[in-house]
Structure 1
Amino acid sequence: MPQISVDYSANLADTFDRQALGLALNQLAVKHLDAAPEGCKTRFRPVDGTVVVGELAQEQDLVLAAFHIFPGRSPEAKAGLSEAVLELLAERLTPAPGRRLHAAVDVVEIDRDFYRGTVLGG
């Protein structure tokens, strides 16, 4: 744990290194949440369509990072992670000319009693 998901506008797919960003996100989770490195798992999902209310979607791109974690981290740790992730996204992602890039982070506590996971194979 944590489970990290990054949803991003599909037209950003060739503009950043997902492997490097995933490793950097994992390192931030280790630093801010005291997570075990081997427990950090990150997936990236391109999103074909986005709509930003009040603005033209054709001129907007989105990157949304979500960290699903077990309870017990302090509000300061979660806020520190959020700020660090926004800084990392600003370093690694650049909006295309004439476009705006919206970035957001969400840290969500999941219910430990109902979460299940396993490793298959190997």
Structure 2
Amino acid sequence: MPQITVDYSHAIDHAFDRAGFARALHGATVEIAAAKPEACKTQFRASGFTAYGYEDPEAEEHAVVHVTIGLLAGRSEETKARLTEAVLALLREHIEDDGPVLHASAEIRDLDASYRKF
């Protein structure tokens, strides 16, 4: 814990500083949600195809980034909201604004009681 997944459009591969984002996000997660640094794990998944509204997906005029953070239950709604806002601010810092219109979102969810790891 935390389990962090970043889904993003491949159109921003060149503009997304994933390593820098992961380091900064791990720091924010430790600071805001009291996670242990060694517990922070982030997986990036580039999507080969992104569709937006009725626009031609081949034009790649829009890109999507969605960050999901799974935490063990017990964080307040205020803590989750602070972390979500931090995620969005960090995305702005680590994705160059030189291409498609960026649609970014983030959510914090409680991991199910069945969560286990090794």
Q: Which residue of 2 aligns with 1:76?
A: 78
Task: Provide runs of 4+ in structure 1 moved above 3 Å.
Answer: 54-57
Q: Which one-letter code corresponds to 1:110 in the other structure?
A: L
Q: Which residue of 2 aligns with 1:13?
A: 13
Secondary structure at the counterpart of residue 53 of structure 1: coil
The 1-side partners of 2:84 and 2:56 are apart by 27
Count of matched residue positions in the alignment of Structure 1 and Structure 2: 116
Q: Which residue of 2 aligns with 1:27?
A: 27
TM-score, structure 2 as length reference: 0.90
- Stretches of structure 2 that go unaligned for 5 or more consecutive residues are none
Question: Displacement, 1:111?
Answer: 1.3
Question: Displacement, 1:96?
Answer: 3.1
Q: Which residue of 1 aligns with 2:106?
A: 105
- Stretches of structure 1 that go unaligned for 5 or more consecutive residues are none
Q: Which residue of 2 aligns with 1:92?
A: 94
% identical aligned pairs? 40
Question: Displacement, 1:17?
Answer: 2.2
TM-score, structure 1 as length reference: 0.88
The 1-side partners of 2:51 and 2:9 are apart by 10
The 2-side partners of 1:78 and 1:6 are apart by 17
CA RMSD of aligned residues (A): 1.3
Using CA pairs under 8 Å that are at least 6 residues apart, name the structure with larger relative contact order, 1 or 2.
2
The 2-side partners of 1:102 and 1:94 are apart by 13
Q: Which residue of 2 aligns with 1:36?
A: 36
